[in-house]
Structure 1
Amino acid sequence: MTTLTTARLSLVRWREEHLVELLVLASDERIVRHIVDGKPWNREYATERHRSVLAHWRRYGYGWRAALDSGTGEFLGVASMTYRDAGTIELGWWVAPAAWGRGLATEMATAVRDEAFRQPGVRRVVAQFQDGNDASGRVMAKIGLVHDHSEVDETQAGRLVHVYVGHVPTAD
Protein backbone atom coordinates (compact mmCIF):
# COMPACT_ATOMS: atom_id res chain seq x y z
CA MET A 1 0.00 0.00 0.00
CA THR A 2 1.42 3.36 -0.99
CA THR A 3 -0.50 5.61 1.44
CA LEU A 4 -1.83 4.87 4.92
CA THR A 5 -4.54 7.19 6.15
CA THR A 6 -5.62 7.99 9.69
CA ALA A 7 -8.12 10.47 11.08
CA ARG A 8 -5.69 13.36 10.57
CA LEU A 9 -2.77 12.05 8.57
CA SER A 10 -1.71 10.71 5.22
CA LEU A 11 1.35 8.51 5.66
CA VAL A 12 2.96 8.43 2.22
CA ARG A 13 5.78 6.29 0.93
CA TRP A 14 9.17 7.93 1.48
CA ARG A 15 10.33 9.56 -1.74
CA GLU A 16 13.33 11.45 -3.06
CA GLU A 17 11.76 14.84 -2.26
CA HIS A 18 11.49 13.98 1.44
CA LEU A 19 15.22 14.50 1.91
CA VAL A 20 14.53 18.20 2.51
CA GLU A 21 12.22 17.42 5.44
CA LEU A 22 14.63 14.83 6.83
CA LEU A 23 17.45 17.39 6.82
CA VAL A 24 15.27 19.78 8.85
CA LEU A 25 14.18 17.16 11.40
CA ALA A 26 17.58 15.49 11.76
CA SER A 27 19.32 18.81 12.38
CA ASP A 28 16.92 19.69 15.23
CA GLU A 29 18.43 18.84 18.62
CA ARG A 30 14.94 18.35 20.10
CA ILE A 31 14.31 15.50 17.64
CA VAL A 32 17.66 13.70 17.78
CA ARG A 33 18.55 14.08 21.45
CA HIS A 34 17.35 10.48 22.03
CA ILE A 35 18.69 9.03 18.76
CA VAL A 36 22.07 7.26 18.72
CA ASP A 37 24.49 9.77 20.30
CA GLY A 38 22.00 12.63 20.62
CA LYS A 39 23.79 14.86 18.13
CA PRO A 40 22.18 16.47 15.08
CA TRP A 41 22.88 14.69 11.82
CA ASN A 42 25.09 16.40 9.28
CA ARG A 43 23.96 16.62 5.65
CA GLU A 44 26.16 13.73 4.56
CA TYR A 45 24.85 11.32 7.19
CA ALA A 46 21.21 12.37 6.69
CA THR A 47 21.58 11.89 2.93
CA GLU A 48 23.13 8.46 3.50
CA ARG A 49 20.19 7.46 5.74
CA HIS A 50 17.74 8.83 3.18
CA ARG A 51 19.32 6.69 0.45
CA SER A 52 19.17 3.60 2.67
CA VAL A 53 15.47 4.26 3.35
CA LEU A 54 14.75 4.43 -0.39
CA ALA A 55 16.68 1.17 -0.89
CA HIS A 56 14.75 -0.45 1.98
CA TRP A 57 11.47 0.35 0.20
CA ARG A 58 12.75 -1.22 -3.02
CA ARG A 59 13.89 -4.35 -1.20
CA TYR A 60 11.01 -4.94 1.22
CA GLY A 61 8.04 -2.99 -0.15
CA TYR A 62 7.65 -0.98 3.07
CA GLY A 63 9.68 1.43 5.15
CA TRP A 64 9.67 5.05 6.25
CA ARG A 65 6.63 7.20 5.54
CA ALA A 66 6.28 10.95 5.50
CA ALA A 67 3.43 11.98 7.81
CA LEU A 68 1.41 14.73 6.16
CA ASP A 69 -1.55 16.66 7.53
CA SER A 70 -4.44 15.20 5.54
CA GLY A 71 -6.08 18.61 5.21
CA THR A 72 -3.15 20.86 4.40
CA GLY A 73 -0.42 18.50 3.21
CA GLU A 74 1.98 19.98 5.79
CA PHE A 75 4.87 17.67 6.68
CA LEU A 76 4.47 16.64 10.34
CA GLY A 77 7.00 13.87 10.79
CA VAL A 78 8.13 10.36 9.97
CA ALA A 79 6.61 6.96 10.73
CA SER A 80 8.78 3.95 10.01
CA MET A 81 8.76 0.20 9.58
CA THR A 82 12.20 -1.39 9.31
CA TYR A 83 12.96 -5.05 8.58
CA ARG A 84 14.85 -6.63 11.49
CA ASP A 85 14.67 -10.36 10.74
CA ALA A 86 12.26 -12.87 9.26
CA GLY A 87 9.01 -12.20 11.07
CA THR A 88 10.07 -8.98 12.87
CA ILE A 89 9.62 -5.32 11.96
CA GLU A 90 10.89 -2.41 14.05
CA LEU A 91 8.59 0.60 14.38
CA GLY A 92 9.64 4.20 14.85
CA TRP A 93 8.38 7.76 14.61
CA TRP A 94 9.48 11.37 14.73
CA VAL A 95 7.01 14.21 15.12
CA ALA A 96 7.98 17.74 14.10
CA PRO A 97 8.19 19.88 17.27
CA ALA A 98 5.51 22.29 16.02
CA ALA A 99 3.07 19.35 16.11
CA TRP A 100 3.99 17.96 19.55
CA GLY A 101 1.24 17.43 22.12
CA ARG A 102 -1.48 16.56 19.62
CA GLY A 103 -1.35 12.75 19.85
CA LEU A 104 0.17 12.38 16.40
CA ALA A 105 2.91 9.98 17.52
CA THR A 106 0.26 7.54 18.76
CA GLU A 107 -1.69 7.96 15.53
CA MET A 108 1.42 7.29 13.42
CA ALA A 109 2.57 4.37 15.56
CA THR A 110 -0.85 2.71 15.46
CA ALA A 111 -0.98 2.98 11.67
CA VAL A 112 2.47 1.47 11.10
CA ARG A 113 1.89 -1.22 13.73
CA ASP A 114 -1.25 -2.32 11.91
CA GLU A 115 0.49 -2.16 8.53
CA ALA A 116 3.42 -4.20 9.88
CA PHE A 117 1.10 -6.99 10.95
CA ARG A 118 -0.36 -7.07 7.42
CA GLN A 119 3.05 -7.91 5.97
CA PRO A 120 3.43 -11.59 5.01
CA GLY A 121 5.13 -13.64 7.70
CA VAL A 122 5.38 -10.85 10.28
CA ARG A 123 4.61 -12.19 13.75
CA ARG A 124 6.22 -9.52 15.92
CA VAL A 125 6.95 -5.81 16.06
CA VAL A 126 9.58 -4.14 18.22
CA ALA A 127 10.21 -0.56 19.20
CA GLN A 128 12.81 0.96 21.47
CA PHE A 129 13.53 4.21 23.19
CA GLN A 130 16.50 5.64 24.99
CA ASP A 131 16.24 6.18 28.71
CA GLY A 132 14.73 9.59 29.37
CA ASN A 133 12.45 9.58 26.32
CA ASP A 134 9.42 8.62 28.37
CA ALA A 135 6.98 10.08 25.81
CA SER A 136 7.99 7.36 23.34
CA GLY A 137 7.56 4.73 26.02
CA ARG A 138 4.02 5.97 26.65
CA VAL A 139 3.24 5.73 22.94
CA MET A 140 4.51 2.15 22.86
CA ALA A 141 2.27 1.21 25.76
CA LYS A 142 -0.73 3.00 24.21
CA ILE A 143 -0.43 0.93 21.03
CA GLY A 144 -0.28 -2.31 22.99
CA LEU A 145 3.44 -3.05 23.06
CA VAL A 146 4.90 -4.42 26.27
CA HIS A 147 8.30 -3.93 27.84
CA ASP A 148 10.56 -6.84 26.94
CA HIS A 149 13.93 -5.78 28.32
CA SER A 150 16.32 -2.90 28.85
CA GLU A 151 19.98 -2.91 27.89
CA VAL A 152 22.99 -0.73 27.33
CA ASP A 153 23.20 -0.54 23.55
CA GLU A 154 26.59 0.12 21.98
CA THR A 155 24.90 1.05 18.68
CA GLN A 156 23.15 3.84 20.65
CA ALA A 157 26.41 5.34 21.95
CA GLY A 158 26.32 3.07 25.00
CA ARG A 159 23.01 4.49 26.17
CA LEU A 160 20.35 2.56 28.05
CA VAL A 161 17.47 1.55 25.78
CA HIS A 162 14.11 0.04 26.63
CA VAL A 163 12.78 -2.49 24.13
CA TYR A 164 9.05 -3.04 23.69
CA VAL A 165 7.43 -5.89 21.75
CA GLY A 166 4.03 -6.67 20.27
CA HIS A 167 2.85 -9.90 18.70
CA VAL A 168 0.38 -10.55 15.96
CA PRO A 169 -3.11 -10.51 17.47
CA THR A 170 -4.62 -13.96 17.80
CA ALA A 171 -8.25 -14.89 17.48
CA ASP A 172 -9.76 -15.99 20.78
Structure 2
Amino acid sequence: MQLSTPRLILRSWMESDRLPFAEMSQDAQVMEYLRPLPTRDASDAWIDFQISHQSSHGFCLWAVESKESGVFMGAVGLLRIGFVAPFTPAIEVGWRLARQFWGQGFAVEAARVSLQFGFEEIRLKEIVAHASTRNVRSRRVMAKLGMSHDSAEDFDHPRMPENDALRRQALYRLTQEVWLS
Protein backbone atom coordinates (compact mmCIF):
# COMPACT_ATOMS: atom_id res chain seq x y z
CA MET A 1 0.00 0.00 0.00
CA GLN A 2 1.37 3.39 -0.95
CA LEU A 3 -0.08 6.86 -1.48
CA SER A 4 1.93 9.86 -2.52
CA THR A 5 1.76 13.63 -2.66
CA PRO A 6 4.25 16.07 -4.17
CA ARG A 7 6.38 15.90 -1.00
CA LEU A 8 5.33 12.75 0.84
CA ILE A 9 4.96 9.00 0.63
CA LEU A 10 2.38 7.27 2.85
CA ARG A 11 3.28 3.59 2.96
CA SER A 12 3.12 0.34 4.87
CA TRP A 13 5.19 0.11 8.02
CA MET A 14 8.75 -1.26 7.91
CA GLU A 15 11.00 -2.53 10.69
CA SER A 16 13.21 0.51 10.19
CA ASP A 17 10.30 2.78 11.26
CA ARG A 18 10.17 1.37 14.78
CA LEU A 19 13.06 3.31 16.31
CA PRO A 20 12.16 6.75 14.89
CA PHE A 21 8.51 6.20 15.83
CA ALA A 22 9.54 5.26 19.39
CA GLU A 23 11.76 8.35 19.59
CA MET A 24 8.94 10.55 18.29
CA SER A 25 6.60 8.99 20.88
CA GLN A 26 8.95 10.09 23.67
CA ASP A 27 8.70 13.76 22.64
CA ALA A 28 6.43 15.43 25.21
CA GLN A 29 5.26 18.05 22.70
CA VAL A 30 4.31 15.43 20.08
CA MET A 31 2.40 13.43 22.70
CA GLU A 32 0.86 16.40 24.54
CA TYR A 33 -2.67 15.67 23.29
CA LEU A 34 -2.30 11.92 22.56
CA ARG A 35 -2.59 8.82 24.68
CA PRO A 36 0.94 8.06 25.91
CA LEU A 37 3.20 5.37 24.51
CA PRO A 38 5.62 5.34 27.45
CA THR A 39 7.85 2.43 26.42
CA ARG A 40 9.41 0.96 23.30
CA ASP A 41 7.11 -2.05 23.71
CA ALA A 42 4.10 0.28 23.72
CA SER A 43 5.21 2.09 20.56
CA ASP A 44 5.98 -1.25 18.85
CA ALA A 45 2.51 -2.51 19.84
CA TRP A 46 0.98 0.65 18.29
CA ILE A 47 2.80 -0.08 15.01
CA ASP A 48 1.79 -3.76 15.18
CA PHE A 49 -1.84 -2.65 15.58
CA GLN A 50 -1.53 -0.47 12.46
CA ILE A 51 -0.06 -3.37 10.46
CA SER A 52 -2.91 -5.64 11.60
CA HIS A 53 -5.51 -2.95 10.83
CA GLN A 54 -4.06 -2.55 7.31
CA SER A 55 -4.25 -6.30 6.80
CA SER A 56 -7.86 -6.50 8.02
CA HIS A 57 -9.33 -3.32 6.53
CA GLY A 58 -7.04 -2.15 3.73
CA PHE A 59 -6.01 1.05 5.52
CA CYS A 60 -4.37 2.29 8.70
CA LEU A 61 -2.32 5.20 9.95
CA TRP A 62 0.47 4.68 7.44
CA ALA A 63 4.12 5.53 7.91
CA VAL A 64 4.96 8.87 6.29
CA GLU A 65 8.31 9.61 4.71
CA SER A 66 9.80 12.52 2.84
CA LYS A 67 10.02 11.94 -0.92
CA GLU A 68 13.12 14.10 -1.05
CA SER A 69 15.15 12.54 1.77
CA GLY A 70 13.43 9.25 2.63
CA VAL A 71 13.31 10.34 6.28
CA PHE A 72 10.53 8.92 8.48
CA MET A 73 8.22 11.77 9.48
CA GLY A 74 5.35 10.18 11.41
CA ALA A 75 2.01 8.51 10.74
CA VAL A 76 -1.09 9.69 8.87
CA GLY A 77 -4.09 7.81 7.54
CA LEU A 78 -7.46 6.25 8.25
CA LEU A 79 -8.59 4.07 11.12
CA ARG A 80 -11.78 2.39 12.29
CA ILE A 81 -12.69 3.93 15.63
CA GLY A 82 -12.37 1.23 18.26
CA PHE A 83 -14.56 2.68 20.99
CA VAL A 84 -18.27 3.29 21.41
CA ALA A 85 -19.52 6.87 21.10
CA PRO A 86 -22.66 8.53 19.73
CA PHE A 87 -21.06 8.84 16.26
CA THR A 88 -19.65 5.29 15.98
CA PRO A 89 -19.18 3.09 14.06
CA ALA A 90 -16.98 5.47 12.08
CA ILE A 91 -13.71 5.83 10.20
CA GLU A 92 -11.38 8.60 11.32
CA VAL A 93 -8.53 10.43 9.66
CA GLY A 94 -5.61 10.99 11.99
CA TRP A 95 -2.02 12.16 12.13
CA ARG A 96 1.02 12.41 14.34
CA LEU A 97 4.22 13.91 13.02
CA ALA A 98 7.64 14.42 14.54
CA ARG A 99 7.98 17.99 15.80
CA GLN A 100 10.57 19.07 13.22
CA PHE A 101 7.88 18.59 10.54
CA TRP A 102 5.23 20.79 12.18
CA GLY A 103 4.06 24.03 10.64
CA GLN A 104 4.99 23.12 7.07
CA GLY A 105 1.64 21.82 5.80
CA PHE A 106 2.65 18.15 5.93
CA ALA A 107 -0.28 17.04 8.13
CA VAL A 108 -2.81 18.67 5.82
CA GLU A 109 -1.08 17.31 2.71
CA ALA A 110 -0.95 13.74 4.02
CA ALA A 111 -4.47 13.87 5.47
CA ARG A 112 -5.85 15.13 2.14
CA VAL A 113 -4.46 12.15 0.22
CA SER A 114 -5.84 9.88 2.98
CA LEU A 115 -9.28 11.47 2.60
CA GLN A 116 -9.04 11.11 -1.17
CA PHE A 117 -8.28 7.41 -0.75
CA GLY A 118 -11.18 7.02 1.69
CA PHE A 119 -13.77 8.84 -0.38
CA GLU A 120 -12.68 8.02 -3.92
CA GLU A 121 -11.07 4.57 -3.66
CA ILE A 122 -12.95 2.77 -0.91
CA ARG A 123 -16.07 4.95 -1.27
CA LEU A 124 -16.63 5.87 2.38
CA LYS A 125 -19.70 8.06 2.92
CA GLU A 126 -18.21 9.97 5.86
CA ILE A 127 -14.87 10.37 7.63
CA VAL A 128 -14.54 11.94 11.06
CA ALA A 129 -11.68 13.32 13.10
CA HIS A 130 -11.46 14.11 16.78
CA ALA A 131 -9.00 15.77 19.09
CA SER A 132 -8.88 17.22 22.55
CA THR A 133 -10.82 20.46 22.62
CA ARG A 134 -7.50 21.99 23.77
CA ASN A 135 -5.57 20.76 20.72
CA VAL A 136 -5.65 23.94 18.64
CA ARG A 137 -3.08 22.71 16.08
CA SER A 138 -5.00 19.55 15.16
CA ARG A 139 -8.29 21.40 15.13
CA ARG A 140 -6.75 23.88 12.69
CA VAL A 141 -5.74 20.97 10.42
CA MET A 142 -9.32 19.64 10.54
CA ALA A 143 -10.67 23.04 9.51
CA LYS A 144 -8.13 23.32 6.66
CA LEU A 145 -9.33 19.92 5.43
CA GLY A 146 -12.86 21.32 5.10
CA MET A 147 -14.22 19.30 8.01
CA SER A 148 -17.18 20.73 9.89
CA HIS A 149 -17.50 21.04 13.66
CA ASP A 150 -20.65 21.26 15.76
CA SER A 151 -19.81 21.75 19.43
CA ALA A 152 -23.05 19.92 20.33
CA GLU A 153 -21.31 16.74 19.09
CA ASP A 154 -18.23 17.11 21.28
CA PHE A 155 -17.86 14.08 23.55
CA ASP A 156 -15.97 12.58 26.44
CA HIS A 157 -13.43 10.04 25.21
CA PRO A 158 -14.37 6.73 26.85
CA ARG A 159 -10.73 5.59 27.04
CA MET A 160 -9.60 8.65 29.00
CA PRO A 161 -9.98 8.84 32.77
CA GLU A 162 -12.75 11.13 33.99
CA ASN A 163 -10.32 13.62 35.51
CA ASP A 164 -8.03 13.71 32.43
CA ALA A 165 -7.75 17.18 30.87
CA LEU A 166 -7.84 15.56 27.41
CA ARG A 167 -11.08 13.63 27.96
CA ARG A 168 -13.27 16.24 26.23
CA GLN A 169 -12.96 15.79 22.46
CA ALA A 170 -14.07 17.96 19.55
CA LEU A 171 -15.65 15.95 16.73
CA TYR A 172 -15.23 17.01 13.11
CA ARG A 173 -16.99 15.48 10.10
CA LEU A 174 -16.57 15.40 6.34
CA THR A 175 -18.93 13.66 3.94
CA GLN A 176 -18.15 12.11 0.59
CA GLU A 177 -20.73 14.41 -0.96
CA VAL A 178 -18.94 17.54 0.28
CA TRP A 179 -15.53 16.11 -0.67
CA LEU A 180 -16.62 15.39 -4.23
CA SER A 181 -18.40 18.74 -4.72
Describe the superposition over 1:20-66 as per-residue Cα deviations: whole angstroms up to 9, x where unpaired: 22211111111111013xx4521222122121111111111111211
Give the structure-1-normalised TM-score: 0.88
1:80 aligns with 2:77: yes
TM-score norm. by structure 2 comes to 0.84
- Could you say if the C-alpha distance between residues 87 and 34 of structure 1 is closer, same or farther in structure 2, counting changes exceeding 3 Å? closer
Which residue does the alignment assign to 2:3? 4
* In structure 1, distance between residues paired with 2:70 and 2:101: 13
Give the structure 1 partner of residue 135 of structure 2: 133
The 2-side partners of 1:116 and 1:15 are apart by: 22
**Structure 1 counterpart of 2:85:** none
Deviation, structure 1 residue 166: 0.7
How many residues are matched?
A: 169
Contact 1:126 1:164 in 2 (8 A): yes
Given candidates 144, 152, 165, the residue that maps to 2:173 is 165
| Structure 2 equivalent of residue 154 of structure 1 | 158
Shift in alpha-carbon separation, 1:104–1:121, aligned structure 2, 3 A = closer
Q: Which residue of 1 aligns with 2:63?
A: 66
- Counterpart of 2:107 in structure 1 is 105
Q: Secondary structure of the equivalent of 1:155?
A: coil
Percent of aligned positions that are identical:
24
Offset from partner CA, 1:103-151 (integer Å, 9 cap, x none): 1111111111111113435211011111221111111011111114212
Greater alpha carbon shift after TM alignment, 64-73 vs 7-16: 7-16
Instruction: Determine if contact 1:88/1:123 at 8 Å carries over to the other structure.
Output: no
- Measure the CA separation in 2 of the matches of 1:126 and 1:72: 31
Structure 2 alignment gaps of length 5 or more: 83-87
Report the structure, 1 or 2, having the larger strand content.
1
Whole-Å separation in 2 of the counterparts to 1:165 and 1:41: 30
Structure-2 residue corresponding to 1:117: 119
Does the residue aligned with 1:125 lie in a helix, a strand or coil?
A: strand
